[in-house]
Amino acid sequence: MPLTPEQQAEIDELRATPRPTLRAVSEGMEGHLYQAHQVLDHGLVRVIDYMGDDAAITQAARVSYGRGTKSVSNDEGLIRYLMRHWHSTPFEMCEVKFHVKLPVFVARQWIRHRTANVNEYSARYSILDREFYIPAPEHLAAQSTVNNQGRGQVLEGDEAARVLDLLREDAMRSYDHYEQMLSQEGQQGLARELARMNLPANVYTQWYWKVDLHNLFHFLRLRADAHAQYEIRAYAETICGIVRDWVPFAYAAFEDYRLGGMQLSARGVAALKRKLAGEAVTQENSGMSKGEWREFEAVWG
CB 177 within 8 A of CB 198: yes
Angle, in degrees to the nearest 10, between helices 266-276 and 290-300: 50
Q: Verify whether residue 223 is a known catalytic residue.
A: yes
Q: Exactly one of 46, 80, 196, 223 is catalytic; name it.
A: 223
Interatomic CA distance for residues 269 and 62, integer angstroms: 32
CB 89 within 8 A of CB 60: yes
Interatomic CA distance for residues 110 and 13, integer angstroms: 31
Kindly give, in sequence order, each residue whose CB lies less than 8 Å from that of residue 213, ignoring residues fewer than 6 positions away. 52, 57, 91, 92, 93, 94, 95, 96, 243, 247, 250
CB 130 within 8 A of CB 104: no
- Taken in order 98, 202, 155, 160, the sign of the CA dihedral is negative
Alpha helices (runs of H) in 85-204, residue ranges in sequence order? 104-110, 157-182, 192-195
230 alpha carbon, distance to own chain's centre: 11
Q: Nearest to residue 288, comparing CAs of 278, 298, 1?
A: 298
CB 42 within 8 A of CB 204: yes
Cα–Cα distances in Å, from 150 out to 68, 161, 176?
Answer: 45, 21, 32
Return the active site residues: 223
